[in-house]
Amino acid sequence: MRAMILAAGRGERLRPLTDRIPKALVEVRGESLLERHLSNIASAGIRTVVINLGWLGDQIVARVGSGKRYGLDVIYSHEGDDVLETGGGIHNALPSLGSAPFLVVNADVYTDMPVPDLQLEDRHLGHLVLVPTPGYRDHGDFDLDAGLIRNDERAAYTYSGVAIYRPEFFDGCEAGRFSIVPMWREAADRGQLSGSLYEGLWTDVGTPERLARL
């Protein structure tokens, strides 16, 4: 399995901190979010990681380099100033992610979640890890029903930022900027997304207040 870390975002809500460093290099307890994910991925036995780059991406390259010191081979997917969002960013990196299911992690989450150890069933195009919806959110993203992701207006759970996808999940997508969220919704309605719930340490490091609490 290969992995991708989504690290191209601007981090608007963390400004002014992210005016000078990319959000992925924000530090919590002496370690950057990105490097914590790299260490976790390496400990799971994954050796190839793709990192997409956008805002201040040169700082990420300078910090991480080839990935050798983490025991990894790091490939960079450059998006420049026109960041491609979640769906577009993954689609752009597909040539580097291989033909097998791959892991995707949002750089801006802080968690002790281990890399999911699972095999996708043939009928499933992806797997989303969910967490209990935190108190700062008005509503969740999805529900779980017998191991399947379900859409529900009163959903109890929030997407954790950790997922596994088959490359085929992106069949029919065109290059460019687009969100993956509508693709999740459609796949869930078709019963093609499995899911699991993680109830350990997890925080979306989206605001200065959440960062300070960590």
Give dist(CA 6, CA 109) in Å, integer. 11
- Sorted by where each starts, the structural domains of the chain and their CATH numbers stand as 3-213 (3.90.550.10)
| Residues 43-100 pLDDT 10s | 999 999 999 999 899 999 999 999 999 999 999 999 988 899 999 999 999 999 999 9
- Rounded Cα distance between 79 and 121, Å, is 32
CA distance 50 to 73: 9
d(CA 162, CA 126): 11
What are the b/e assignments for 153-175, b being 16+ CB within 10 Å? eebebbbbbbbbbbbebbeebee
Provide the token pair at 134: 């935190």
- 11 vs 211, which has greater pLDDT? 211
| pLDDT on residue 188 | 98
Tell which wins on pLDDT, 163 or 153: 163
